[in-house]
Structure 1
Amino acid sequence: MSWWGKLVGGAFGFMLGGPLGAVLGAALGHKFDKGLKGLPDDDISWGPGDQERVQTAFFTATFSVLGHLAKADGRVSQDEIRLAENLMSQMSLSSEMRQTAISLFQEGKSEQFPLDDVVTQFRQECHRRQTLIQMFLEIQIQAAYADGEMDRQEELLLLHICELLNIPEFTFRRLERMVRAQSHYAGAGSQPPPRTQGVSLNDAYAILNVSPDASDKEVKRAYRRLISQHHPDKLVSKGLPEEMMKMAAQKTDEIKKAYERIKEARSMG
């Protein structure tokens, strides 16, 4: 049974406690009064059940923190709401899952939302799955750029989230450049460009996080690393909800197009 099936069946209340369980319970309209005592230590191997727990934690943290971030500048813009809706559409959520995602978004907007506790537990639940934590952060940065620019309050909040996730600022800046370039590319039109010329060369370098002066070997290495980090199957195996595979696939497609753009400009083989 999938993580959502167990959640709907009520079994997951016994597996996901803490702040995340409380937020999810509130979004579902009931309280999870039971959960695992404590979090797994470094010596415990994670089985299929634990993967489902991570998937639930990722889903819960993603949409609730999105709601909190959307309110960071004092108001929730239509662009930010649209981005959350687009994310739900990309995930092809069932009506029940979509309603839960909306409720989590609303919970995140609450003045009582325990951001620090939620993000801290999410990091612990991920159990050193850095690629998964990075995907979570990319989604939040993408939300900050939903209206075309990152507000100072959003930036400060994201830097605080990075602290809670043990992500250094230079990694945040790298991801920010990548997401900003991707948003430029995606904003070029309502439909993806038919050829690699749709992404500018500067954006292509930013997406791969390499300098225009980088060697061909460095470009290839950056491309392979990013493709590996964003591979949908790999992310799902680490705990990304299956419903987010389409979103991960879109990111790999953008990375591939950026690489092709650079290859064309350099006449690389």
Structure 2
Amino acid sequence: MSWWGKLAGGVFGFMLGGPLGALLGSVLGHNFDKGLAGLEKDSMGGSRAEQERIQSAFFTATFSVMGHLAKADGRVSPEEISQAKAIMAQMDLPPDMRRAAIELFNQGKRHDFPLDEVLQQFRRECRRRTTLIQMFLEIQIQAAWADGRMDTAEEQMLLHICRQLGIPEFLFRQLERMIRAQQAGGHGGNHQGSQGTTSGTPSLKDAYTMLGITRDASDAEVKKAYRRLMSQHHPDKLVAKGLPEEMMKVATRKTREIRKAYEAIKQARGF
């Protein structure tokens, strides 16, 4: 039985406490807020109970923080709500999980949402799983750019999130550029590189940005960047680290976009 099946069915092989447990418990009607006793004693051995707790923490933090980010400018517009639902649809969540995600999004909009406490617990739960934390940030950036722009309030909140999670600003800027290029290339946008673009195919300019490199990169550097990004976003590896199985489509989409960018560069360079 998956972590979600256990929660929905009231069969708990793990316990998520703290603010994340309180948020998830309020959504599901369970009393999870038992504190974090014993959390620091767990080993990094990757027990099933530990993985399930991380999966529930990732799910809870992702959608509640997304709701808080949507209200960064003081109000949540109908367009932002539609964008959040579209992201949930892209993840292809089952109906009951989608309802929970929407409720967590609404919890995040509350004026008393404990952002820093949520982020601090999420970081503790993930510990040294940096690729998982980076995936969380990528989803938040994607949500901020869903309407094609990022306002100052959203940018400042994302930078605050990075500081809480120990992510340097240069990495945030790099991820932001990559995600903008992915959205432009993935939707057949109007961005034009040296070879233009067709629907679903990134321009050459966007392809380089999506891999986090410049046109001056050597063939070896292109291949290294591609392998690194594919490893970071490999769905099975991320699930093993704590990405909920039901959210694997996020990683699958990422790897598909990375592969398209690499193929565009390969074709242009002829290797």
Q: Structure 1-normalised TM-score?
A: 0.92
Determine which of 221, 239, 257 is the counterpart of 1:236: 239
Give the direction of change, closer, same or farther, for the CA distance of 1:77–1:146 in structure 2 (3 Å limit): farther
SS in structure 1 of the partner of residue 39 of structure 2: coil
**For residues 52 and 14 of structure 1, what CA distance do their matches in structure 2 show?**
7
Structure 1 residue 14: deviation in Å?
5.8
- Cα RMSD between the aligned structures? 2.0
**For residues 50 and 197 of structure 1, what CA distance do their matches in structure 2 show?**
38
Q: Give 1:121's aligned residue.
A: 121
Determine which of 250, 260, 263 is the counterpart of 1:260: 263
**For residues 102 and 111 of structure 1, what CA distance do their matches in structure 2 show?**
17
The Cα offsets for residues 72-117 of structure 1, whole Å up to 9 and x where unpaired, read as 0122234432332123223332222111111000000000100000
Superposed structure 1 runs of 4+ greater than 3 Å apart = 11-14, 41-44, 194-197
Which range is displaced more, 5-14 or 107-116? 5-14
**For residues 217 and 56 of structure 1, what CA distance do their matches in structure 2 show?**
39
SS in structure 1 of the partner of residue 40 of structure 2: coil
Which range is displaced more, 242-251 or 110-119? 242-251
Structure 1 residue 41: deviation in Å?
4.8
Structure 1 residue 49: deviation in Å?
1.1
Structure 2: state its 5+ residue gaps: 190-196
Q: Give 1:8's aligned residue.
A: 8
In the comparison of the two structures, how many residue pairs are matched? 264
**For residues 249 and 257 of structure 2, what CA distance do their matches in structure 1 show?**
12
Which range is displaced more, 40-49 or 92-101? 40-49
Q: Structure 2-normalised TM-score?
A: 0.91
The Cα offsets for residues 1-52 of structure 1, whole Å up to 9 and x where unpaired, read as 2100111132449610001001111222443243541522585533011101
Structure 1 residue 195: deviation in Å?
6.8
Q: Give 1:183's aligned residue.
A: 183
Instruction: Decide whether the 8 Å contact of 2:233 with 2:255 is kept in 1.
Output: yes
Instruction: Decide whether the 8 Å contact of 1:142 with 1:179 is kept in 2.
Output: yes
Q: Give 2:214's aligned residue.
A: 211
Which amino acid counterpart does residue 93 of structure 1 have in structure 2?
Answer: L
